[in-house]
Structure formats: C-alpha cells, structure tokens
Structure 1
C-alpha cells in the first residue's frame, strides 16, 4: 500500500491539474489562459499587458478585447548595458569570480506586462493576500522573468504553511527610458515614468486580481534594492496618498534615499538631446520620441551607470520633494512596514573603484566631487573621520585586515561609505523618523543580516538576503514575508526567534548572525550600530540631496 500511495499522490495531482487547467475569467468576460506548475500546485499567468508605453510618455492602460494567452513572459524593458561603462577592475572581478550578470535577451520599448502566480485551488471567492514584487537593478537593469522560480516557491511555501498568497510581478521602464530628468520633462509632466508604470501595475491589481482569487484589500509591496526604494516611493507618492492600492510594505535594502529635484538631470537631458540631433528643435521631447531605438540605445548606454542621475527624483507631482523630507514631514502612507539591510551593502559597488581610489587623497577627492560637491570643508572632514582608512572598521565589517581587495587599502573604506550612504543610513533615518510621526500608527519591524559574512571580498553582500537561507528557501525572509502578507506581522509564532517591534523608545531589530556551517538562529538586537556616522550622512542627505 505504501508503494502504491507514493506514486498515486503525484499522479492524482497531475490528473487534477489536467481536469482543472490554469484559466481565469475577468469580470469583463475575457478569459486568461495560463500554465500549471509541475507539482500541479501553482497556476502561472505570464506576460499579460497592463499598459502601453509610448516612448517618453505616461503609460496608458490596456483595454482587453479578446482572450489573453498568458503562457509566456513578455519582453523585458529596454535597459542599460552595464558592461559598456564598467571599469577595468569591475570587469576583472566579474571574470575572476565567475559572476553572471543577467541580461534579458528579449528587450523592447513596449514591455509593460504583469504576471500572476496563484495556488491552483484559488477561486474568485478565495480573497487571498497579494504580494507584489518590484525588482531591483539600480533603476538601470532588471526584469520580472528573472524571479520566476522565486515567485513559484513563495506560493508553494504559502500553501505548505496553509497561509496561501498570490504573487505578482511586472516590468517597468528603466534607465533614461523611465527616469529622464530636466525642466522639459518636468513641464511635460512625465517625470518618474518608471514609478508611474509601477503605479499603473498596482491599479491593475486592484481592478483584476479578484478574478485570480486575490484580495485587493490586502496588497503587500515587496522589493529589494532599487525595487525596495521603488516601493518606498510608492508610500511617498502624492504626499503619502496610497489611493488604497496597498496595505503593507516589505523592504529589503532600500528606503527613502536622499534624491533632489528632477532639474538636477538637466545636463543629462541636454546631452541626450544633442547626441540624437534634437537640440534646437521646436519641441525637443517630440523630436526625442521619434528617434528610433537602434540610434538611441548606444547613446544611453554610453552614459555613466551606477549612482547616475537616472533615478527617481522630486518632479513636483508624483514626488513633491526630496523623499527624506517627505518622510520627515509625515507625508507617507500609514501602513505596516518591514525594513532591513545586509551588513555589507557597499562592497559590490566599490570594486569598480579599485583602480581609481588608491590613497587618502583619492578618497577625499572622490567624496568632494561625486557625493558632496556643495558641502563645507568641515562637513566633509566629519565624513573622513567617521570613515577612516583603517581596514578594521571598513566593510566587510568585523573582518579585521581581511578582504582588502587587490591589497587596496581604500577598498573597505569606500565600501563602508557607499553602503552606509545609499542603504544603511537612509533605512535608519526612515524607520527612526516614522516611529516618531504622530500620524503613522502602523507598526514597524527592522532586520539586519550578517549571513554569508565569510564570502571573500564582499562579505554579507548586497542581495545576499535573497540567497537561499539553508532551509530550502530561495529567500532568507520568505517565511516572514508570507506571514506578514497574511497577518500584517512578520512573526512566525516561534518564541525563541520572536521579531520585536521597532519603536522610538525601543529600536529593536531581528539580527541574522553570521555562521560557518549551520546558520545560527536570528536574535533580537538594538538598532544602534554606527549611530554617529549615520546621523552625519542623514543630515548631509537632507541638506545636499543627490
């Protein structure tokens, strides 16, 4: 009997799947045809167009007139070719480390598609919580198809836990195609197009997710890196008006970064207009929209990549001010939030500086020109003192004299500074400020991961909280995410690993310690590391946004 049962269960699942194909019908009567996973547990609906993307124009919602074939992913959005601007040291590291930078083969301007993963048993009456994933990639690269396996596993895990969720991913425009700056862009009302795409995807969820068994009244934003920054920008959009599009946020390595006015991108706009031959045109934007993609792409790719002007900015409409000021002024949606970091956020982004920053003078010149050109000498000096050349206090943190990549004594210093400025300090500012807001009544939870600390050179590297957790999860935090989606509280109900709430009076976080073999259990800790340095960086971010 046992042998019979061991094969009969899977066979029964397959028979059920064949009898119950992946198909839903929208309220408009349009049928959506999807796929059934090998296990039979998950139905996937891929590549559903949710908006049209006219070049350098606001997204326009799609009207469905016929049944939808949702059995394959849509094209990725056109994105930056990072290798064209990578430094020699970064290219060397990529080769030596065997890294693979995913580059979607199929890219297009018309790319705004959405994907839905649901338990096979979900019906219109299920009203399951919905997790909406926003991919990262520095607002330069990324696509939803990359996270196909993660999406299926999140749904599978939720089924096993009897806390079913629906998982949604989508594409949004990137690089100059989605985040062009300048006065002309602001005047035309087309700032932050990538964020506008995201907003329209959230509107699609409200309109259609019920047909897949989802609850439009329980939508959780989930993102990592620039995807987490994006989710934060959605919390701040229209001065914190959620428009009831979401009800919680799970933020990994990204918060309200100190970006300034869209006018700061004027030089980039002017250079692009000149390069494509549109300078002097009566309507430069109209001229730009008419440029064919084969001519436009190499020009965009030739611009600087990481931490360039191609990122969200205060356009006066979607984002009315520097995001950190919006947080400070309480202009943020009042929803429960989980926010955290990995320990060595800056290492991966600092390898490219090995060839150009070799001395104290190089470091100081880089800070002065790239990050703090308007700061006073005294303000810069406070940064130099808090980020000294001493490798024992650099990143990867707590590794002593190890990890001085290519014996460059400035590498760990650069890593510490970049990781704190862009990721760690803004997250601290974000949760500290929110915890003191009288108009934000929802709860906060914070985490810090030191897992994989012994990875050579990069330590607890940016993105390592998306790596396997040792228990078969593709994501360190997936169990917590599923719980949060269902209860708006990430606690798993295990007393010795309870996740304390973060408050102004008691800023507690969940710490994932490093480990050699079996990862140790997470523990509660106080969120107070590098407090003086973080305060300095956050003050400078408010005063001199990027």
Structure 2
C-alpha cells in the first residue's frame, strides 16, 4: 500500500492525541429551543462551547435502512445531555489502516444521525453569528464528526480572536452501502443518495434551530474536503436548482466538487449493490424482495460484508465504491450537465480550490513509461476512449516533468505526470468548472467566486523522514490548517512556525468568507484574495475571462493574476468537455 512506510510515525503522532482541554468556566452552557421547549446542556473548554450528539434524524435501521431520513423531534420539555460524542454511522473500525490520520471508530450504530454545534464562549441567542457547516470526506465510505482531525476548537476560538466569530456545525451522514446503495426498488421509492439526503435534512435543522444557539440562518456557509467537497457541490446542484429556498448562502469546496465522483452518471453504485446482494444471499425474483432481505440483515453482517467487498475494488481502504447516483430526484442529471446548463442553486458565493499535489497519494510510483501511464488511465477510468487517453498524454508532455533522484529509489517523471493528471481530473478541474458556471449564471455582479491552490503541507517533516518527499503537497494537506491541528493536535509535534501561521490565517479567511463573502476582509486573514471570475450572467462560457487564483503557503505564495502554471485552463477545458465527462460518467 502506498501509505505503509509512513504508518509507524503517523501512528506515534496519533497516539499522542490532542492536548487536554482547558476549562473556560465552571458553568455548563445551556441552549433553549423555545418552539419545542427543549434544553441542551453542553461543555465549555478553550474558549469554546460545544453541544454534541444532537439528534436531527430518526434511527435508520429496519425499514428506515436505505430510506430517506426522517426528522427527529425531542419530546417537549426534554433536557438533553449534549456533553458526550455519539456513534458513528456504520463503517469499519480502522478508517484507513495503512494511513492512521483518523481515530479508530469506537462505536457504530444506525441511530447515528446527529450533529454537533460549537460556538465562541459566552455566545447568546441574540448574537446572530455566521455559521460554518462542515461536511466530512472519506471516499463516501468513512467519516464521523467526532474525529479529532476535525476538532473545531481552534477554528472557532481563532476566528473569534480575529473578530470574525462563527458558529461551527457538522453532521453525521450515512456512508458506504448504508448511504449510497442503489437498486431498482430504491429508485422506485425515491430512496437513492440517502447520505446526501441526510446532509440536506441537517441543513434544514440548522435553518430551524441555529438561531437559538446564536447563529444566523441567513448566513450559513457549507464547506467540505474531498468527498465532503463533492457533497457540497451536489448540495449546490440538488434537485437541479428547482427549489423555492436553499438552506445556505455560501459554499467552500476543498479538493472536490459535484463532478469529482466518476461513475455517478451510469449508476456505478447500482452495479456494486447487485454484487453485494449476491454475497449476502439476498438474491430474489424481485428487487423489492432483495431490498427487504437487505433490511433484515444484522447491521454488522451487512457492514463487514460490504467492507470486504469494497477492499476488492480499492485495496487502499475501500474508498469510492458506493457513491452518489444520477439520474435521481436529488441529482436529476449528470452533475456536469447540471452545472453547464445552470441547473443549480444560483447566486451562492463560492470559494474553491485544491492541494498542489492532490493526485500524489492515488498514483503508483511504479509508472515508468507512457504506456504505463496510459494503462493506469484505462484501469482507473475504463470507459475512456483511446483518443481521449492519447489527447491526455499530449496535454501533459513528459518534458514538463522531471525524475526525482533525491529519494531512494528514484521516482520517474511518469509518476509526476500521472499524478498531475489525477489532480486535475479529480480535484482542480471540478473546482474550476463550478466557479466558471457559478459566475456564468449569476444574476448580479455581487456574487463572489474565489479559487486557491494550497502549496504547503504540515506533513513535510514526516515525508522527509520516511523518504516520501515526492508526495509534495498531497490530498488532505488543507485539513490540518483549517482545523489548526498543527498548533494543538496530531501534527503539532512536527509542525513549523510557518505551518502555524498559515493555519491561523486560513481559518480566519474561511471565517471572513462566511461573514462577508470575502476571505481577506479582516486582519489576520490571508491577504490579497481577488475574484477568480466576475459574475457575467452570460449564456456563452467562451466569453468568460481566464480565471485567477490565490496560491496559499509555500515559497510561491502569491496571487497569480490571469496566468496559470502547468497550462491548467487548457487541460481543464479538456477534462470538463462534454465528450470526456460523458466517458467519465460525471
């Protein structure tokens, strides 16, 4: 496995855990929901008040398994103990065994639709603070809101110190077979994409109740990383934009977007569900009978069988096997078509970007020739035509890349060539397409559109010690900065002063964007952001100017103006073309 050599050191870091919280006061914070007369009692530490394990959806076992989530209502007069973490939705105990960045899952349950609310100390119901809502990633297979990688304490307290206080919310949603099963019976009952529907239900809970916690329901920003960013993108395109109200005003996508999951448009999840039905002996004359059989299975039987099957598809951790499906009510057409035809929530302020080497973890270092690169594309994307693969090789000439002889054994330039393709196809180009179409269909010029590329990683010392420096700035490098675990958390022992400065500024920029639609409005943010594209309200994407982006961190931190290195605009025009997106199933 590509991560195995760094496991020992990262495992040691994981064992160190987070620093012990410092109490903010001796008084437990409470929140009252006046409409339902429900009280929540939370905890206070490190200038942050936290309310955990708040139920927004009913249990999803039995007949509710695979079904759209149902709202949960606490009985009137309830006093809810919101001081302890809740269960994760069904998933494996070790999220990615070969790369231990995440906590082991201590408890799973189908009664998992809970959320957490974290706010600055002494927030009152009258404060009306902007709200940052996080959607975790994890290949649609793993993830939970209580993982220490996503501890929001320093994000919340740091933003408050810079006078851009925000409230943080994150929701659990179903993953894997439980969140993204697909079959004719599920389609007929409008039950596809349950995990995305969980996210949507939580967003409506926030609209209804966040004011009691001191939040402003009209100032909600959703943000996510990797498949969390894909979730954000699909919340933008939800129902083809044909809804009377959208439960958020702004969106941040980190290394992902609506078009990041290849195979969405040809029901790849349905193919895998059919195999799993056979593996658990639920094959029956009708799809409805098969569904009823699946719902009768013990949770662990289904969970463990699905995980074993996922590993046969993706040995790294079973990622991206059960994924979102279109067409469906929630995703009525291919995501690329929804974006290109303006079928998405209009006039949403957008900030989107990627890590400079987002594709590094997902590329084999055994690639030595152009034929190897072509075959790796065929293996990963089996419906790509020979002409498309030939064009991709042409757009990424080997002369643009160099061998890395500083590591032992040396790494071929072909690895970096394929890694760049993976970054662009899966991360950079989905961001660019969303920003371009968001600007194209905006109804007024005040709509914000920002792009960034992260060029610094807190994993640098780990990679240097483990002979993995060729990873560069890989996928997930943004999370330790946004949640500032470089200052107090997993990566604190190996972080630099530069890492801690970047984390402080990035968290403040995200909070500034949530507050003003501008990531550099206040002191302490990353300065110099400019609009990637103006809102054009044009029906012709060709008329749009060349987009601009902000490089974050590293020796090359600057605003690029209208030029890109690596010919990214031309390459993304190829990956985002109608012909190629059809071959990718996006």
Summarize deviations over 1:38-80 as a string: whole Å, max 9, x none: x4x2210001111022321111111101221100111111125
Counterparts of 1:30-179 in structure 2, within 5 Å, are 30-37=38-45, 39=46, 41-52=47-58, 53=60, 54-65=64-75, 66-80=78-92, 91=98, 94=99, 99-147=100-148, 150-179=151-180
Corresponding residue to 2:514 among 467, 481, 485: 485
Per the TM alignment, residue 289 of structure 1 is displaced from its structure 2 partner at its CA by 0.8
Q: 2:338 is matched with which residue: 323, 326, 329?
A: 326
- TM-aligned CA distance change 1:544 to 1:76, over 3 Å: same
Deviations 1:501-536 (A, max 9, x none): 121335221112523xxxx75434335343332222
Q: Give distance in 1, aligned partners of 2:95 and 2:145.
A: 21
For residues 190-211 of structure 1, what are the alpha-carbon distances to aligned partners after superposition, in whole Å with 9 as ceiling and x for unaligned?
A: 1111100000110110111111
> Is 1:23 equivalent to 2:24 in the alignment?
no
Structure 2 partner of 1:393: 400
For the residue of structure 2 that corresponds to 1:169, the secondary structure is strand
The CA RMSD measured in Å over matched residues stands at 2.8
1:175-225 superposed Cα distances (whole Å, 9 cap, x missing partner): 111112233332221111110000011011011111111111111101111
In structure 2, the CA distance between the partners of 1:366 and 1:336, relative to structure 1 (3 Å rule), is: same
1 CA distance for matches of 2:246 and 2:136?
22
Are the structure 2 counterparts of residues 525 and 451 from structure 1 closer, same or farther at C-alpha, using a change threshold of 3 Å?
A: farther
Q: Which residue of 1 aligns with 2:453?
A: 448
SS of residue in 2 equivalent to 1:131: strand
Q: How many Å apart are 1:447 and its aligned residue?
A: 0.8
For normalisation by structure 1, the TM-score amounts to: 0.85
Q: SS in structure 2 opposite 1:525?
A: coil
In structure 2, relative to structure 1, the CA distance for the partners of 1:148 and 1:43 (3 Å cut) is farther
The separation in 2 between residues aligned to 1:358 and 1:78, in whole angstroms, is: 40
Of the three residues 470, 481, 506, the one matched with 1:457 is: 470
Contact 2:130 2:216 (C-alpha < 8 Å) held by counterparts = yes
Matched, 1:277 2:281: yes
- The structure-2 alpha-carbon separation of the partners of 1:82 and 1:427, relative to structure 1 and needing over 3 Å to count, comes to farther
Judge conservation of contact 1:22–1:33 (CA < 8 Å) in 2.
yes
Structure 2: distance between partners of 1:411 and 1:484: 36
Is the contact made by 2:94 and 2:104 (CA closer than 8 Å) also made in structure 1?
no
Give the corresponding residue for 2:388: 379
Give the corresponding residue for 1:4: none
Alignment of 1:303-382 (within 5 A): 303=310, 304-305=313-314, 308-333=320-345, 334-350=347-363, 353-354=364-365, 357=367, 359-373=369-383, 375-382=384-391
> Alignment partner for residue 430 of structure 1, among 424, 434, 439?
434
Cα distance change of structure 1 residues 362 and 57 upon mapping to structure 2, 3 Å threshold: same
**Shift of residue 387, structure 1, vs aligned partner:** 3.5
Q: CA deviation at 1:323?
A: 1.0
Measure how far apart 1:476 and its partner are.
Answer: 5.9
SS in 1 for 2:471: coil
User: What SS does the corresponding residue of 2:499 show, helix, strand or coil?
Assistant: coil
Q: Give the secondary-structure state (helix, strand or coil) at the position aligned to 1:457.
A: helix
Q: 1:245: which partner in 2?
A: 247
- Residue 15 of structure 2 is matched in structure 1 by none
Alignment deviations for residues 317-365 of structure 1 (CA, whole Å, 9 cap, x no partner): 0011111111101112121111111110100122xx346x554434323
Would the alpha carbon gap of residues 363 and 76 (structure 1) be closer, same or farther in structure 2, given more than 3 Å must change? same
Comparing 152-161 with 449-458, which one deviates more in the overlay?
449-458
- Report the count of equivalent residues: 505
Whether the 8 Å contact between 2:176 and 2:321 is mirrored in structure 1 is no
8 Å contact from structure 2 (residues 132, 167) kept in 1: yes
1:362/1:440 CA distance change after superposition, 3 Å? farther
Q: State whether structure 2 residue 422 is matched by structure 1 residue 418.
A: yes
Q: Give the deviation of 1:421 after TM superposition.
A: 1.0
The secondary structure found in structure 2 opposite 1:177 is: helix
Contact 1:74 1:113 in 2 (8 A): yes
CA drift at 1:493 = 4.5
SS of match in other structure, 1:51 = coil
Measured after TM superposition, the shift of residue 542 of structure 1 is 2.5
Q: After the TM superposition, which of the residue ranges 185-194 and 364-373 deviates more from structure 2?
A: 364-373
Alpha-carbon contact 1:250-1:339 (below 8 Å) kept: yes
Contact conserved, 1:163 with 1:482, CA < 8 A, in 2? yes
SS at 2:478's partner residue?
helix
* Post-superposition offset of 1:477: 1.9
1:9 counterpart residue number = none
| Whole-Å separation in 1 of the counterparts to 2:107 and 2:583 | 39
| Unpaired runs of at least 5, structure 1 | 1-12
* CA-to-aligned-CA distance 1:124-173 (integer Å, 9 cap, x gap): 21111111011111111111112576411122112212222111111111
2:539 aligned partner: none
Matches of 1:270 and 1:496 in 2, distance apart? Answer: 48
Residues 17 and 525 (structure 1), Cα distance of their counterparts in 2 relative to 1, 3 Å cut: same
**1 CA distance for matches of 2:92 and 2:302?**
11
The answer on whether the counterparts of 1:181 and 1:269 sit within 8 Å (CA) in structure 2 is yes
Q: Distance in 2 between matches of 1:80 and 1:164?
A: 36
